[in-house]
């Protein structure tokens, strides 16, 4: 994947210039998840976050009534950012609906890049806050 592809695949990287995208891309790795495979689990510490390159990811959490689907994410969307960047535990579990190709970003390395790009950090934070609110709302439905 080249630098422009990264910006096209996920809006979050539009806040980075070519140099920032290049640095972030060198820190990333490609990952594959088979249909039904759990990518990350609720309650785990988050050491990385993911951008979906292709496929669909199902986001769920445990409630008093059992497992509840919170969202379906597809190409260009990302998940795991709050746990990865804030050191929080994961708020939800994410599993591949079908075959999924991901780009994985380790939190410690990403943190170094984001120090230089406050707009990218702010975009991640905004999405995280909105997502946290949406999770709480969905859980209470």
| pLDDT tens digits, 121-134 | 777 767 666 666 66
In this predicted model, what pLDDT tens digit does every residue of 54-66 receive, in sequence order?
Answer: 999 999 998 888 8
Q: What is the number of structural domains in the chain?
A: 1
CA nearest 103: which of 71, 121, 77, 132?
Answer: 77
User: Could you tell me the residue range of the domain that residue 33 belongs to?
Assistant: 3-140
Quote helix, strand, coil % in the chain, to nearest 5.
40, 30, 25
Q: What is the CATH number of the domain that holds 107?
A: 2.60.120.10
In this predicted model, what pLDDT tens digit does every residue of 5-38 receive, in sequence order?
Answer: 655 556 667 777 878 877 877 888 899 999 999 9
- Percent of the chain past pLDDT 90, that is, above it, reads 27
23: β partners: none
pTM score over 0.85: no
């Amino acid at each position: 994947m080249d630098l422009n592809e990264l910006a096209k695949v996920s809006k979050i990287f539009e806040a980075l210039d070519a140099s920032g995208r290049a640095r972030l891309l060198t820190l990333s790795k490609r990952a594959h998840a088979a249909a039904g495979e759990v990518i990350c689990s609720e309650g785990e510490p988050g050491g990385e976050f993911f951008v979906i390159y292709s496929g669909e990811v199902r986001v769920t959490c445990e409630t008093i009534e059992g497992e509840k689907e919170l969202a379906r994410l597809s190409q260009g969307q990302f998940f795991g950012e709050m746990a990865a960047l804030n050191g929080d535990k994961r708020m939800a579990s994410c599993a591949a609906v079908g075959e999924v190709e991901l780009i994985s970003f380790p939190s410690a390395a990403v943190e170094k890049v984001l120090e230089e790009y406050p707009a990218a950090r702010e975009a991640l934070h905004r999405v995280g806050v909105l997502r946290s609110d949406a999770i709480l709302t969905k859980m209470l439905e």
